[in-house]
Amino acid sequence: MISETQALVLVFLLMFLPLMLFFASRVRAGHEVSLRRIPAFEALPDLIGRAAESGRALHIGLGSGGVGGEETASALAGLSVLGYLADQAAIFDCPPVVTVADLALLPVAQDVLRNGYLRQNRLHGYRPTAVRFLGPTPAVYAAGVMDILAHEGIVANTMIGTMGDEYLLIGETGAKHGLTQIVGTSNVGALPFVFATADETLIGEEMFAGGAYLSRLPEHIGSLLAQDWMRLLLVSAILAGVLWRTVF
């Protein structure tokens, strides 16, 4: 027998799926969609340009989370941005420094970076050591990134993934060295620190929209539209619930 909560989640998922497929097919058919501006995604190509001009590396941090747990979706959001930056890094021949704190995420990040070089027919430029495993705990990861930002001639810092309080140590080091920082996290507790230190921020759900904004795949744009409709539905349900409880 399935519980009430399980049934609700199942219904929610079953409603989400057709909406996603419907909007993806509309976008594929040529339906124009205007996405609101997200300055962080607009600033990403500029970072690669600056890295290419200065001959210095761009740091791409995937945060202290990994794949296989609750933080998987955040790690995937980071990988989606890494995929885009890998293409750009291969085109402009400016290898980034990618850091991870999860052992299972390490080969995945290496594969995503390698695929970027492969897509641009520049596999000779790919180095597996461009992706570094710094340590499995937030403090060790933060210490590793602080050292890289301070001593390896990094031109800008991009961090998208799961981050906790340790982000402040990283963000302040970046700010102290005058690095342009683009940071996105889904952790509400770390957002004040991100807001205090980063030039551009990806707050909450914005970090999951990377695929739609950067690769413009119809399926990604479709899923973004489905997400908006589901949000409207949820907000309407909340408002209806409040009215119901207030009146009856």
Q: Which of 210, 170, 203 is nearest to 188 (CA)?
A: 203
User: Does position 196 bind another protein by CB under 8 A?
Assistant: yes
Among 10, 239, 240, 243, binds another protein (CB under 8 A): 10
Among 25, 42, 123, 231, binds another protein (CB under 8 A): 231
Helix (H, G, I), strand (E, B) or coil at 8: helix
User: Does position 171 bind another protein by CB under 8 A?
Assistant: yes
Among 28, 93, 216, 241, binds another protein (CB under 8 A): 216
**Residue tagged 């945060």 (tokens):** 63
Q: Which of residues 26-65 bind another protein (CB under 8 A)?
A: none
User: Does position 106 bind another protein by CB under 8 A?
Assistant: yes
User: Does position 200 bind another protein by CB under 8 A?
Assistant: no
Instruction: State the nearest-atom distance from the C-beta of 87 to another protein, in Å.
Output: 8
User: Does position 103 bind another protein by CB under 8 A?
Assistant: yes
Instruction: State the nearest-atom distance from the C-beta of 192 to another protein, in Å.
Output: 8
Helix (H, G, I), strand (E, B) or coil at 240: helix
Measure the N-to-C terminal CA separation of the chain; round to a whole number of Å.
Answer: 31
CA distance 158 to 59: 6
**Residue tagged 């990988």 (tokens):** 79
Handedness of CA 78, 80, 83, 84 (dihedral sign): negative
Instruction: State the nearest-atom distance from the C-beta of 6 to another protein, in Å.
Output: 5
